[in-house]
């Protein structure tokens, strides 16, 4: 079956991911986003229990407490390790220094005293704005091309070799080209985000569209759905979960890449802030920025997780 | 008029060689008839149904419905699939209405909605119309698929092992509902049902087409079921005609039509 072949070749692609599983781009390991391995399962990861067999409320409350306690313990471990390394490497800021740097940064996050002194909030907003613009532009390209690749064998043959060649390239390699053509460093950073965001969304869209089951297609044929109706009521709802999964991965990578892109572009943004703090030997600010970048990343991923849950339907059969 | 299947042949070309699935099928089905098609896996019964439904083309021969040659799917033939084939993101109501609306652009959409409501009510789904297929039982899903097919108002209803995946009691219930729907129906008079079940075939059909696996000819035997309607499921096993047909079908399916290939396929 040709459809199956296509599916298998997709399965072999490292970028393609199902359902709520998320590909960690740094490790290449797929993992569920909300479900911990076992045992200390949070409410979201635990399979639903039949009424009457539910664990008593006290047990559930205990597991929630466990979760908080263990989560806290993880951070304690991180800080202990950090403090130990900082003790032998005096150039590293200690956790305490970094925390005080963080509270200083958050005291006046939106202050603006000219180009060399902007609040951390402004820097983060600048970066977020670039990420959203680059991401939105990428969707304009990735979704139609992904649809075409998934729906037509010719489009697949035409685009796939190009996609496979460009996909593994670090998006930062595109920075010089962006700079030359766009003649502005911030625009080049947006261009880098645009390139970054294309691939996961494109491939997941193509995968979703290509894997519409024969049974859904037969319904459309027997009841003579028009092209529009097929797209609206079969193709789109079927491929939407996979498309949003792709968007979620794209956004996750884009948020990582913007830091590096702004280290190159300079001027403004959280990446510039980190580089600038390093140049000023203010490593406590670097550590504080790492924490804030992580928080924003978690928030972005959470939002896309919500969107994913909204478009997910319950499979029958 | 009638449904005529004339010299239909079809061969699947697979890696293990050519598989002659339909080896010259000739059948004439009268308007108003209920015909069951029974046979082992691999005898081509589902393929025959798909050819009549227009989902697959025949290599040779033709299917003619009321004088018109079947070239593809059409609103005169609705299919109830084995695996329900509901669209999981749509409500029960939308599954029925959207299909009926696009299959019958000639009807006013209000009329189609009324017709859909009628079948949703008669299949007992009206109260569940806003649920998604994932939120209802297997029996209700299959009833939705049946309501969807009837709402199109096809001349011929094609059922592909419609109750195969259901438990025995639900299946029996749905068989009765199908007969009730069909006997109160003016548009849909002819039914063609592929089945694995001997009792189901006798209970529902006016004629039973027994199909054989290759290399035997496709149609092994056609058995008339001369049992008065309405048929009472509880009394049926005592009927001598029922016993005679059942015996014949069991003999055919368990002895005569068992080939090394059917055994192999049943095991697979």
Provide ipTM, 2 decimals.
0.90
| pLDDT tens digits along A168-225 | 999 999 999 999 999 999 999 999 999 999 999 999 999 999 999 999 999 999 999 9
Q: How far is the C-alpha of A29 from the C-alpha of A188, rounded, in Å? A: 30
- The fourth-level CATH superfamily of domain A2-33+94-311 is MetI-like (1.10.3720.10)
Contact B132/A at CB under 8 A: yes
Residue B83: per-residue pLDDT: 85
Bridge pairing between strands B2-14 and B77-80: unpaired
pLDDT at A114 exceeding the cut of 70? yes
Residue A13: per-residue pLDDT: 39
Q: How far is the C-alpha of B210 from the C-alpha of B262, rounded, in Å? A: 14
**B81 Cα to chain A: minimum distance (Å):** 8
**Top-confidence residue, A12 or B75:** B75
Residue A3: per-residue pLDDT: 41
Q: Average pLDDT for residues A30-38, to the nearest whole number?
A: 41
If DSSP codes are grouped into helix, strand and coil, which group holds residue B152?
coil
Q: Write out chain B residues lying below 8 Å of A221, CB-based.
A: 55, 72-73
> Is residue A31 very low, low, confident or very high in pLDDT (cuts 50, 70, 90)?
very low
pLDDT at A9 exceeding the cut of 60? no
Sign of the torsion formed by the C-alpha atoms of A45, A47, A50 and A52: negative
Go through the domains of chain B in sequence order and give each one's CATH number.
Answer: 2-76+156-267 (3.40.50.300), 84-153 (no CATH)
CA angle A205, A208, A214 (to 5 degrees): 150
Residue B187: per-residue pLDDT: 75
Beta bridge partners of A11: none
Tokens of B1: 């008029």
Q: Average pLDDT for residues A30-57, to the nearest whole number?
A: 47
- Indicate the residue of A216, A221, A226 with minimum beta-carbon distance to B87: A216
Q: How far is the C-alpha of B40 from the C-alpha of B55, rounded, in Å? A: 22
Angle between helices A95-107 and A283-311 (to 10 degrees): 70
Quick check: A317 and B84 CB within 8 A?
yes
Q: How many CA atoms lie within 13 A of A80 on its CB side?
A: 6
pLDDT at A79 exceeding the cut of 70? yes
pLDDT at A22 exceeding the cut of 80? no
Contact B133/A at CB under 8 A: yes
Contact present, B161 and B195 (Cβ < 8 Å): yes
Quick check: A316 and B89 CB within 8 A?
no
Interface of B with A in 81-110 (CB under 8 A): 81, 83-90, 98-100, 102-103
pLDDT at A43 exceeding the cut of 70? no
Quick check: B100 and A219 CB within 8 A?
no
Among residues B100, B90, B233, B244, the alpha carbon closest in space to that of B171 is found at B233
> Is residue B72 very low, low, confident or very high in pLDDT (cuts 50, 70, 90)?
very high
Quick check: B148 and A223 CB within 8 A?
yes
CB atoms within 10 A of CB A188: 22
Q: Write out chain B residues lying below 8 Å of A223, CB-based.
A: 73, 78, 98-100, 102-103, 148, 152
Bridge pairing between strands B190-195 and B77-80: unpaired
- What is the rounded average pLDDT for all residues in chain A? 85
Contact present, B193 and B204 (Cβ < 8 Å): yes
Alpha carbon of residue B52 to chain centroid? 11
Count of A-B CB contacts under 8 Å: 68
Residue A17: per-residue pLDDT: 40
A284: left (phi over 0), alpha (psi -120 to 50) or beta: alpha
| pLDDT tens digits along B96-108 | 999 999 999 999 9
Alpha carbon of residue B94 to chain centroid? 23
Which residue is closest to B149 within chain A, CA to CA?
A: A223
> Is residue A54 very low, low, confident or very high in pLDDT (cuts 50, 70, 90)?
low
Q: Average pLDDT for residues B43-58, to the nearest whole number?
A: 94
Distances (CA, A) of A104 to A101, A110, A119, A155, A292: 5, 12, 10, 54, 13
pLDDT at B6 exceeding the cut of 60? yes
- Indicate the residue of B85, B98, B134 with minimum beta-carbon distance to A215: B85
> Is residue B263 very low, low, confident or very high in pLDDT (cuts 50, 70, 90)?
low
> Is residue B199 very low, low, confident or very high in pLDDT (cuts 50, 70, 90)?
very high
What are the DSSP calls for B216-236, one per residue? S-SEEEEEE---PSSPPTTTG
- What is the rounded average pLDDT for all residues in chain B? 91
Q: How far is the C-alpha of A146 from the C-alpha of A203, rounded, in Å? A: 6
pLDDT at B25 exceeding the cut of 90? yes
* CATH 1.10.3720.10 placement within chain A: 2-33+94-311
Q: How many CA atoms lie within 13 A of B266 on its CB side?
A: 13
CB atoms within 10 A of CB A19: 12
Contact present, A6 and A156 (Cβ < 8 Å): yes
């Amino acid at each position: 079956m040709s459809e199956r072949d296509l599916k298998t070749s997709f399965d072999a692609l490292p970028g393609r991911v199902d359902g709520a599983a998320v590909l960690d781009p740094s490790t290449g390991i797929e993992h569920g986003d909300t479900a911990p391995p076992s045992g200390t399962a949070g409410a979201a990861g635990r399979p639903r229990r039949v009424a009457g067999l539910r664990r008593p409320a006290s047990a559930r409350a205990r597991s929630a407490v466990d979760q908080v306690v263990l989560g806290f313990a993880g951070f304690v471990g991180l800080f202990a390790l950090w403090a130990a390394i900082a003790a032998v490497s005096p150039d590293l800021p200690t956790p305490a220094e970094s925390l005080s740097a963080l509270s200083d940064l958050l005291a006046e996050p939106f202050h603006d005293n000219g180009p060399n002194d902007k609040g951390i909030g402004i820097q983060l907003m600048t970066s977020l704005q670039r990420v959203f613009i680059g991401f939105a532009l990428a969707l304009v390209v990735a979704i139609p091309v992904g649809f075409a690749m998934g729906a037509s064998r010719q489009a697949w043959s035409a685009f796939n070799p190009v996609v496979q060649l460009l996909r593994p390239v670090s998006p930062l390699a595109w920075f010089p080209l962006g700079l030359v053509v766009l003649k502005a460093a911030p625009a080049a950073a947006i261009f880098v985000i645009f390139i970054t965001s294309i691939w996961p969304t494109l491939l997941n869209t193509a995968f979703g569209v290509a894997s519409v089951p024969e049974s859904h297609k037969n319904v459309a044929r027997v009841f003579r759905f028009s092209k529009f109706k097929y797209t609206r009521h079969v193709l789109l709802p079927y491929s939407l979960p996979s498309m949003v999964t792709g968007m979620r991965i794209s956004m996750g990578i884009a948020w990582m890449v913007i830091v590096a892109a702004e280290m190159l572009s300079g001027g403004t943004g959280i990446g510039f802030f980190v580089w600038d703090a390093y140049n000023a030997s203010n490593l406590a600010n670097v550590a504080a920025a790492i924490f804030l970048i992580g928080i924003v990343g978690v928030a972005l991923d959470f939002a896309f997780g919500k969107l994913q849950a909204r478009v997910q339907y319950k499979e029958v059969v | 008029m009638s449904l005529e299947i004339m010299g239909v042949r079809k061969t699947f070309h697979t890696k293990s060689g050519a598989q002659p699935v339909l080896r010259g099928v000739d059948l004439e089905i009268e308007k108003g008839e209920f015909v069951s098609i029974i046979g082992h896996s691999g005898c081509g019964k589902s393929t025959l149904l798909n050819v009549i439904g227009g989902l697959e083309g025949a290599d040779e021969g033709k299917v003619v419905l009321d004088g018109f040659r079947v070239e593809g799917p059409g609103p005169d033939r609705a299919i109830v699939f084995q695996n329900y084939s509901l669209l999981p993101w749509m409500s029960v109501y939308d599954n029925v209405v959207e299909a009926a609306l696009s299959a019958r652009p000639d009807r006013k959409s209000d009329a189609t909605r009324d017709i859909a409501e009628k079948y949703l009510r008669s299949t007992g789904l009206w109260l569940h119309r806003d649920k998604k297929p994932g939120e209802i039982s297997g029996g209700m899903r299959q009833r939705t698929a049946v309501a969807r097919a009837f709402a199109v108002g096809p001349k011929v209803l094609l059922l592909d092992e419609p109750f195969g995946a259901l438990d025995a009691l639900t299946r029996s219930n749905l068989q009765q509902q199908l007969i009730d729907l069909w006997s109160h129906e003016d548009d849909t008079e002819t039914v063609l049902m592929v089945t694995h079940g001997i009792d189901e075939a006798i209970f529902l059909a006016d004629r039973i087409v027994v199909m054989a696996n290759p290399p035997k000819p496709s149609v092994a035997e056609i058995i008339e079921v001369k049992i008065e309607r309405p048929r009472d499921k509880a009394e049926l096993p005592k009927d001598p005609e029922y016993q005679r047909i059942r015996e014949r079908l069991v003999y055919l399916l368990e002895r005569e039509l068992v080939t090394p290939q059917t055994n192999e396929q049943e095991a697979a």
